[in-house]
A and B are shown apart, each in its own frame.
Chain A
Amino acid sequence: MNIRDNPTLCDKLAAEYVLGTLKGGARRRFESLLRQDAALRRTTTEWQDRLMPMSEFSTSTQPRRQVWQSIERRLGLKRGYAAWQFWRNESLGFWRSLSAASLVLALLLVGVINSSLLDRPQVDYLATLTDDKARTALLLTGDRNRQLLTVRLVDHAPIASDKVLQLWAVPRDGVPRSLGLLPAQGVIELALTDAALGDDVAMLAVSLEPRGGSPSPDGPSGPILYKGNWVRVM
């Protein structure tokens, strides 16, 4: 039977194909027609868009962790670490690249901040986050006594209106912890607590995320734009 000249029949068959009630030889014939006929493929896709949301009527259930691990193993994705674990992928050179010059600059900045900008707070932690060309984009200062983390956006590339910058504390072990979303410019003060920025944190990073922040519970979902060491200076 030639179904191509019969759009009503095409529609009916596509619907029953997607629903699953088209079986056996009729299903196989339909599938071979699908391969040849773009219009039929479009009709079928439309039915998929209509009926597949039925899948959501079942209650969401979190699969066990092993499922992802098996997928990772089967696809060989475990080479190296995830992109956000940049410090693991980079050579020792990265750590050495925190040069004397930048440390001097950092200490100078502490001096400036201590003396003027923040009405003499006790700055005892510091990070300068730089981009991949070592340009400073953000300056962060921590004041343990006042439990205050001050983030200054010095200079960074413009971001699209549907994106946002998200600040992360990167612990030596485990997944990064979100410290909050950053404004497009200016200064923001975040609470500095041991839970978020404890002694296990050696580095801070900023990722580019969809509005609302990373949807992943395991850390950034977007690219890391800026990063820097979180160092005790006092």
Chain B
Amino acid sequence: MRFSTRQAVPDSLTPDQEQLRAWLHRASQRDATAFRALYDATSPKLFGFALRILGKRELAEEALQDGFVAIWNGAGTYQGHLAAPMTWMTTIVRNKALDLLRRSGGDAEIDGHVYDSEVMNALQDPRANPIDALLVSRDAKALAYCMSTLEGMHRQVVGLAFFHDLSHSEVAQQMAIPIGTVKTWIRRSLERLKTCLAKGHQP
């Protein structure tokens, strides 16, 4: 049996949840090495997300820093049986990013068109689009599939609200549609997503 001396670095972009859970647990016991591993495995995804929310690299870096400081400090309070580790960490980084977004006075411009073309179109038909190339988890693929079953405008309303922390009226303004329509679309979309995800569809 003969191996190559340089083992390929295993794909660290889609670490499994059990591994993340183990690192989080060790981080809660002040294991800096495990924390570093957790950072290496998840920071590209979380940074990409912060960048999507904030639009500016400096701000996204600040959000990522604030997020990981909070993750280290709060690792002991993470309840593994309640939330997936990536969900928990994403929520933290998202809150930090949204804090910064508010403090920067909504400085990060929402470019609806860029946003449409990059993400929403990819969701229209995840089977034909590069959603796989984004190296997303099974959960994200399932959600992408379910979002692809929504009508285009509904999908866009949900995406705008999520990524840019917009209120109903801000979404209405952005899309130039009545606020009542936004509320209805969001409510229906969320219901449909819940039902669709419960069926466990896979693209």
Contact = CB atoms under 8 A, between A and B. Distances in A.
B59 interface: no
Contact residues of B: prevailing secondary structure: helix
Contact of A221 (B7, B33, B86): B33
A55 B15 CA distance: 16
A19 B190 contact: yes
A74 B69 contact: yes
B140 A215 contact: no
Interface stretch (A75-83, A91-99, A101-109): A75-83
Given A55-B49, A59-B48, A179 B7 contact: yes
Nearest to B136: A56
B123 A57 contact: yes
A71 B39 contact: yes
Interface string A178-202: 1111010000111111011100000
A20 B47 contact: no
Contacts of A149: 5
A191 B3 contact: yes
B61 interface: yes
Contact of B168 (A11, A21, A50, A179): A21
A190 B3 CA distance: 5
A191 B5 CA distance: 6
A28 B9 CA distance: 45
B69 A71 contact: yes
Interface of A: 11-12, 15-16, 19-21, 23, 41-42, 45, 48-64, 66-68, 70-71, 74-75, 77, 82-84, 149, 166, 177-181, 183, 188-193, 195-197, 210, 212-218, 221
Interface of B: 1-7, 9-13, 15, 19, 23, 31-37, 39-41, 43-49, 51-52, 60-61, 64-65, 68-69, 72-73, 82-84, 86-88, 90-91, 94, 98, 118-119, 122-123, 131, 134-137, 139-140, 142-144, 147, 158-159, 161-163, 165-168, 171, 186-187, 190, 193-194, 197
Return the 9 tightest CB-CB contacts between A and B, nearest first.
Answer: A58-B52, A53-B140, A196-B5, A56-B140, A60-B44, A55-B49, A56-B136, A178-B7, A53-B139
